[in-house]
């Protein structure tokens, strides 16, 4: 059976409201601003990095940051309109790329039309039951004459009652429209770890009966990933379990951390064997990784690791040049800046990084073992880490060195034979001798060695 497209791809992640410099608040009376047009050059750039799919952050009518939805059926006027998104999707698909949109179904904003009806009509509103645990006779932190459930205590985000048949019909009809009008290939489900599994099962049935290869990925911060990723619910989840170890194993000189996580997930008997988790080093909710690392030279072994471990790698816009970004007090805006593509290309913080990522992306595209192979740790030390990825007809060894000095590593490979050539440095070949492979590894870098058949 051939893999689905999402098992072979890597992602580029855009947050359009930030990238395009859209106004921070959406005024209902404001005219449509066609900022989606600014995204076209980023498609070509994303392809140069070897990414084949675009995860496009929230695009539907909201009040502020996109996750406080007002209307699931209309593109946010700060970005454009429905025909503009349809044109963008057509242009993307003509490039052979796939489009995944943010689906914010756990909650809506207080300006969502049905919640406004409750604010106006009170108990007479026919939409009272659309919202989780909405109770009259109590007062909300916003001063409403009723209480309701929010997302993690943020009362600007009102939790939907996803068990209500009319709520489901409203959301599923929106998904149907997105599939038909915008030809989307999948959804990233915001706050999926807060959504009832029965809703996820129903959503899966809804989309998979229309398109078998439609991808459902959930934002899950904590939990056992197989609870979400299975034949009944989702195809993938955000791999937050590996996220921290990817950068802190470098900053703390402790490759044991990420090796332990990867072995538990993908090693022999691992809990996530066979799953294609969504891997990332930063995104719109967490600090830019260049701001997290103690030494920015470690950006290079970091991305080498991202593109060679099991799962689906994702690049967050701008981070391929090593831009900085830290959360502000009560705001994520610094993580979601307006960026100029030409300025970044002409004056990058790390001139070589985007080219390195593009090279890694090309290597991954050409390697079945890196996309689908098993995982086995070969060597682990505080600043060196080596592992094997293997499918039936290809074996690849990945060797990482976070030390700022070159090291020489001796790998014991009793079940291997012959030569290994370096995919990162064409022309460099290493020969196995009596079951051992002696490999010099450059500082703050690594090697990707493919067994010669």
> Model confidence over 306-365: pLDDT tens digits?
999 999 999 999 999 999 999 999 899 999 999 999 999 999 999 999 999 999 999 999
H or E element at residue 323: none
Q: What is the pLDDT of residues 131-186, one digit of tens each?
A: 999 999 999 999 999 999 999 999 999 999 999 999 999 999 999 999 999 999 99
Both tokens of 395, joined, read 């074996």
194 φ, ψ (degrees, to nearest 5): -105, 0
Residue 388 banded pLDDT, cuts 50, 70, 90: very high
Both tokens of 307, joined, read 């593109």
pLDDT at 417 over 80: no
Residue 63 banded pLDDT, cuts 50, 70, 90: very high
Q: What is the pLDDT of residues 242-280, one digit of tens each?
A: 999 999 999 999 999 999 999 999 999 999 999 999 999
Residue 435 banded pLDDT, cuts 50, 70, 90: confident
pLDDT at 415 over 80: no
pLDDT at res. 254: 98
Of 303, 196, 283, the C-alpha closest to 238 is 283
Percent of the chain with pLDDT over 90: 96
DSSP assignment string, 315-380: EETTGGGT-----BTTB-GGGS----HHHHHHS-SSTTHHHHHHHHHHHHHT-HHHHH-EEEEEEE
Residue 452 banded pLDDT, cuts 50, 70, 90: confident
* Residue ranges in 267-298 assigned as alpha helix (H): 289-292
Q: What is the pLDDT of residues 371-386, one digit of tens each?
A: 999 999 999 999 999 9
pLDDT at 416 over 80: no
Superfamily name with CATH number, domain 373-451: Golgi alpha-mannosidase II (2.60.40.1180)
* Residue ranges in 95-164 assigned as alpha helix (H): 113-121
All CATH 2.60.40.1180 domain ranges in the chain, comma separated: 373-451
CATH code at 5-112+158-369:
3.20.20.80
pLDDT at 58 over 80: yes
Residue 1 banded pLDDT, cuts 50, 70, 90: low
Q: What is the pLDDT of residues 8-20, one digit of tens each?
A: 999 999 999 999 9
| DSSP code of residue 131 | B
pLDDT at 2 over 90: no
Rounded mean pLDDT of the chain?
97
| CA angle centred on 430, ends 426 and 432, rounded to 5° | 150
pLDDT at res. 418: 86
All CATH 3.20.20.80 domain ranges in the chain, comma separated: 5-112+158-369
């Amino acid at each position: 059976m051939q893999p689905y497209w999402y098992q072979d791809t890597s992602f580029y992640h855009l947050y359009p409201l930030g990238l395009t410099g859209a106004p921070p608040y959406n005024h209902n009376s404001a005219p449509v601003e066609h900022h989606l047009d600014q995204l076209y050059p980023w498609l070509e750039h994303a392809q140069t990095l070897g990414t084949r799919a675009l995860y496009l952050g929230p695009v539907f009518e909201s009040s502020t940051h996109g996750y406080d939805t007002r209307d699931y059926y209309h593109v946010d006027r700060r970005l454009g309109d429905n025909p503009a998104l349809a044109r963008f999707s057509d242009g993307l698909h003509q490039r052979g790329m796939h489009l995944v949109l943010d689906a914010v179904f756990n909650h809506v904003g207080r300006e969502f039309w049905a919640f406004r009806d409750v604010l106006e009509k009170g108990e007479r509103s026919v939409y009272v039951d659309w919202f989780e645990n909405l109770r009259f006779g109590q007062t909300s932190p916003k001063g409403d004459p009723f209480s309701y459930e929010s997302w993690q205590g943020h009362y600007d985000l009102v939790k939907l009652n996803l068990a209500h048949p009319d709520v489901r019909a409203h959301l599923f009809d929106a998904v149907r429209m997105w599939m038909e009008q915008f030809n989307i290939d999948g959804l990233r489900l915001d706050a999926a770890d807060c959504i009832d599994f029965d809703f996820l099962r129903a959503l899966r049935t809804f989309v998979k009966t229309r398109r078998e290869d439609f991808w459902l990925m959930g934002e899950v911060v904590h939990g056992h990933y197989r609870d979400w990723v299975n034949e009944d619910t989702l195809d993938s989840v955000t791999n937050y379990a590996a996220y921290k170890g990817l950068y802190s194993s470098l900053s703390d000189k402790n490759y044991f951390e990420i090796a332990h996580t990867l072995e538990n997930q993908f090693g022999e008997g691992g809990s996530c064997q066979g799953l294609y988790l969504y891997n990332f080093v930063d995104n719109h909710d967490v600090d830019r990784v260049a701001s997290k690392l103690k030494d920015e030279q470690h950006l290079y072994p970091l991305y080498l690791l991202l593109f060679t471990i099991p799962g689906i790698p994702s690049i967050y816009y701008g981070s391929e040049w090593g831009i900085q970004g830290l959360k502000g007090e009560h705001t994520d805006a610094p993580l979601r800046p307006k960026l100029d593509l030409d300025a970044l290309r002409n004056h990058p913080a790390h001139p070589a990084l985007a080219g390195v990522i593009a090279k890694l992306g090309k290597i991954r595209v050409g390697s079945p073992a890196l996309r689908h192979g098993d995982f086995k740790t070969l060597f682990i030390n505080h600043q060196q880490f080596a592992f094997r990825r293997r499918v039936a007809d290809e074996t690849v060894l990945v060797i990482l060195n976070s030390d700022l000095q070159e090291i020489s590593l001796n790998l014991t490979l009793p079940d291997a034979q012959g030569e290994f050539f370096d995919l990162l440095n064409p022309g460099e070949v290493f020969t196995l001798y009596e079951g051992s492979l002696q490999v010099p590894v450059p500082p703050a870098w690594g090697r990707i060695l493919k067994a010669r058949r």
